[in-house]
Amino acid sequence: MIVNEVITGTIAIVLAYLIGSFPSAYVVTRLMSGKDIRQLGSGNVGAHNTYREVGMAAAVLVAVLDVGKGAAAVVLAHRLVDIPLYQLNTIVLLAGVAVVAGHMWSIYIRFTGGNGLGASVGVLIMVLPWEFLIFIPVFAILVLITRNVVLSTNIGLLSVPVSAWFLEKEWLYVVFCIALIILLVLNFIPTAMNAMVKAGSRRNMADELLRRKKNQ
């Protein structure tokens, strides 16, 4: 029945948002240092800021949890709508968007959060595994060039909808990828603007993004 499908879909999307809202970086930082990650460094509730302010071990744990959130939300949505993994379904894709939104705007920490990259990776692993495999070497090359993991991830994700198109996936997959990227970009704009203000100029910001040393 359509009513049951709507109820099941709504439950899947809401649960995905709540899963994404679990503030991994906030919890891990509290447990390992007693501090509030929102008050440290960039204030971003994610693995990158955790690495810079708390350490590698904490950052790895946060990254695993964030990726796991994305994957778990997709798996749960598949179970709720009762379809096999990797099968196309609008509810599953909406749940994928919801878990990323939850990571960005967590209900548990007053709608603050991270940049959504970890959760997005987890979603893409479960929704578009072959396209994600193509993303990995693209990401690796970009890291070698930019020496910036976050920037490389954001740029590298552009390869996913392109790969989906070349592999002749259904158009809904491509639209999903583009929607996810737009969500990431919109969430990143305030961070980029703050970074620009702190850097003082576009050149200084480029130096920071590309990890270039300033002339002494």
For the segment 155-170, the average pLDDT, to the nearest whole number, is: 88
- pLDDT computed for residue 75 by the predictor: 96
| Cβ-contact 116, 70 below 8 angstroms | no
Q: Which residue has the higher pLDDT, 192 or 87?
A: 87
| Cβ-contact 49, 37 below 8 angstroms | yes
Report CA-CA distances (Å) from 83 to 5, 89, 138, 194, 195.
Answer: 13, 8, 31, 43, 43
Nearest CA-CA partner of 82 in 10, 14, 9, 172: 9
pLDDT single digits (tens) 7-61: 999 999 999 999 999 999 999 999 999 999 999 988 899 998 999 999 999 999 9
Q: Is the pLDDT of residue 205 over 70?
A: no
How far is Cα of residue 101 from the mean position of the Cα atoms in its chain? 9
Q: Which residues contact 64 (CB under 8 A, 6 or more apart)?
A: none
Q: How many whole angstroms separate alpha carbon 85 and alpha carbon 169?
A: 16
pTM for this prediction: 0.86
Q: Is the pLDDT of residue 215 over 60?
A: no
DSSP assignment letter at 1: -
| Cβ-contact 15, 73 below 8 angstroms | yes
How far is Cα of residue 208 from the mean position of the Cα atoms in its chain? 21
Biggest CA-to-CA distance, the chain: 70
For the segment 102-119, the average pLDDT, to the nearest whole number, is: 94
Alpha helices by DSSP H, listed for 54-170, are 56-81, 90-104, 117-127, 129-146, 149-156, 159-166
How far is Cα of residue 47 from the mean position of the Cα atoms in its chain? 10
- pLDDT computed for residue 101 by the predictor: 96
Q: Which residues contact 189 (CB under 8 A, 6 or more apart)?
A: none
- pLDDT computed for residue 216 by the predictor: 31
Give residue for tokens 């996913």: 160
3-state secondary structure of 51: helix
